[in-house]
Amino acid sequence: MKISVIKPDNIVVVDGVARGVDLSDQDAALHAIQWDGTKGEYEYTNSTGPIQRVLNFSELQPFLTRWTAAAPQPPPPPPPPPPTKDEQIDQAWSNPVLKLLLLELAGKAGLTEGDLRTAVKAKLP
């Protein structure tokens, strides 16, 4: 795992994926931290001496935690598809009062339940 922390830009990059994170609580002189997968170093803007080495990968954990927390949220799931005509009719038929009313009207018109369902289906958008 390769990690770069770039303080002036408030960016942490993990394996090539950059995310903006708040690094304002870090040392003002810190420019960057680089980790190549096995070793790393701190880079300071005011340093003229030797570069400070990252002694332990655990030193990078706070930056990984911030990077993980900055991950974009997944998009919401798509809305369910609208009900089909048959599903709309079945839903209406599941209401006993409505079904009784429709069957009574169908009987007066000389229609069977199947005829009525076909006629209603034809009228649905």
- Looking at the fold, whether 91 and 62 belong to one and the same domain comes out as no
- Looking at the fold, whether 58 and 107 belong to one and the same domain comes out as no
Q: For 9-45, how does the pLDDT look when each residue is reduced to its tens digit (9 = 90+)? A: 999 999 999 999 999 999 888 899 999 998 899 988 8
How far is residue 68's CA from residue 53's CA, in Å, rounded to a whole number?
24
User: How many CA atoms within 13 Å lie on the side-chain side of 121?
Assistant: 13
User: And the tokens for 58?
Assistant: 């655990």
108 domain residue, yes or no: yes
Domain count, the chain: 2
- Looking at the fold, whether 54 and 92 belong to one and the same domain comes out as no
Range of the domain at 108: 85-123
- Looking at the fold, whether 65 and 99 belong to one and the same domain comes out as no
Q: For 50-68, how does the pLDDT look when each residue is reduced to its tens digit (9 = 90+)? A: 678 877 889 999 999 999 9
